[in-house]
Amino acid sequence: MNLDQLHGAVPAFDESAAARAQARWDGIAKPVGSLGLLEQAVVTLAGAQGTDQPAIDKRAVLVLCADNGVTAQGVASTPPEITAVMAEFIANKRSSVCIMAKQAGAESIAVDMGMFRRVDAKGLLDRRSASGTADMTLGPAMTREQALAAMETGIGLVKSCKDEGYQILATGEMGIGNTTTSSAVSSVLLGKSAEEMTGVGAGLDEAGLNRKVAAIKTAIERNRPEQSDPIDVLAKLGGFDIAGMAGIYLGGALYRVPVIVDGFISATAALVAARIWPEARKGMLFSHVSAEPASRAVLAALDAKPLIHAEMRLGEGTGAVALLPLLDMALRVYYYLMTFADIGM
């Protein structure tokens, strides 16, 4: 993937369509701006799709599954084998996100981006980059080429979904140890300490949290990622899931498909994408504020205002699909409420 092509790429975000959508909101017979962030979400949909008549009838959540070598440092409360187990559940439509996605009228699509163990499941897309990343405390988690390839895979997933008629995508992930990689990446990109950006993840005790912070510090000191080069940071400290999601956000902008950001890990990938190509940020929709302590810092860096404050921390894309019913309601008002002109005002 030639990243230089992104900076001059079109169509990306359509400011004219967004302005027309805002004008329609302002003409609807209700107090101006009274639906708040719901109105802004529809404006974002319009700009991302390039039309003031956005539609999200066909939707999917892409759940990227990958393993992380840093789990060898005892940074997770569950063994890495769980990644493959959960990936199989997701592929067979038996996980939390699948149940929630079905309720929201969305397809759940599981993708193997690079797990330690292959999973033989009919519903799992094989986009493996390798059998997990390397242990970032010993050296780079990925080569730069691997990181770029995983990003290109994410872009390709968006293209395939666009070709199949999907109008909106949500991001999700499954990978033991990926709050560690996300904390490491966001720590460097935001210039904050490992202590500030690291939480207990899926349930670490105090000793486990200390190991996690120590592993992040060691990885940063050993690899010396360049803060001004988001791909370098991603390759040295990230994971195949984060790289793939960053590609999905870039692909969303390239192919005019709005993308919903899930929690902390998804938002970290969004931060990487925005640092690579700021235009990609415009078509992102932010679903919720994760319970992870670094979540608010990453969202603030993205100037994001998520609609859901529910202290969720499950991952898989559950927060992202929870936004879909709210978008449906906002679009119903946008299309069907009378305008001031209709009532002669």
One-letter amino acid at 184 equals: A
- Backbone φ and ψ for 241, nearest 5 degrees, come out as -70, -45
Catalytic residue status for 107: no
- Among candidates 160, 156, 150, which has minimal Cα distance to 129? 150
Strand 259-261, strand 124-126: pairing: unpaired
Angle subtended at Cα 285 by Cα 61 and Cα 64, rounded to the nearest 5 degrees: 30
CA 3 to chain CA mean position, Å = 19
Residue 305 in 3-state DSSP?
coil
- Among candidates 235, 217, 233, which has minimal Cα distance to 225? 233
- Among candidates 44, 17, 91, 24, which has minimal Cα distance to 326? 44
Is the torsion defined by CA of 195, 201, 207, 211 positive or negative? negative
Is the torsion defined by CA of 22, 24, 25, 27 positive or negative? positive
Select which of 39, 279, 292, 316 is catalytic. 316
Q: Where are any strands of DSSP class E within the chain?
A: 59-66, 106-114, 124-126, 168-174, 259-261, 284-286
Give catalytic residues, as residue numbers: 316
